[in-house]
């Protein structure tokens, strides 16, 4: 459920004009199948990776980026930024304090 919520929040931030397309959504998670001898693994044709990078993700950096994008998109209106992120105002203020936003 949390992954779905995060995917929707991300799509809302990335879309322009309120229309969410498949380009704004993450690619379906697919388990890699072992390659048969002599057969290279087939790509899924998606521009989105299906697994996190080998060096991992810095989730705090990702969350901070989403906060910045929401505040930019809402022109500093914190109530609207919270709505864009699917957070309550209290949750937004808590995250702003956590990351040192004024």
Comparing 24 with 68, the larger pLDDT belongs to 68
Comparing 21 with 92, the larger pLDDT belongs to 92
Kindly state whether residue 42 falls inside one of the protein's structural domains: no
Kindly state whether residue 93 falls inside one of the protein's structural domains: yes
Average the pLDDT over 1-15 and give the result.
76
Kindly state whether residue 53 falls inside one of the protein's structural domains: yes
Confidence class of residue 9 from pLDDT cuts 50, 70 and 90? Answer: confident
pLDDT at 46: 47
Comparing 39 with 102, the larger pLDDT belongs to 102
Tell me the CATH number at 74: 1.10.10
**List of long-range contacts for 91-100, beta carbons under 8 Å, 24+ apart:** 92/67, 95/63, 95/67, 96/67, 99/60, 99/63, 99/64, 99/67
Kindly state whether residue 54 falls inside one of the protein's structural domains: yes
Kindly state whether residue 36 falls inside one of the protein's structural domains: no
């Amino acid at each position: 459920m949390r992954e779905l919520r995060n995917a929707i929040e991300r799509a809302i931030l990335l879309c322009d004009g309120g229309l969410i397309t498949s380009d704004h959504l993450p690619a379906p998670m697919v388990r890699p199948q072992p390659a048969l001898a002599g057969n290279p693994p087939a790509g899924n044709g998606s521009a989105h990776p299906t697994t996190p990078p080998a060096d991992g993700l810095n989730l705090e950096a990702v969350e901070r980026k989403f906060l910045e994008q929401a505040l930019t998109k809402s022109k500093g209106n914190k109530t609207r930024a919270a709505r864009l992120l699917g957070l309550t105002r209290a949750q937004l203020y808590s995250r702003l304090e956590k990351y040192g936003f004024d």
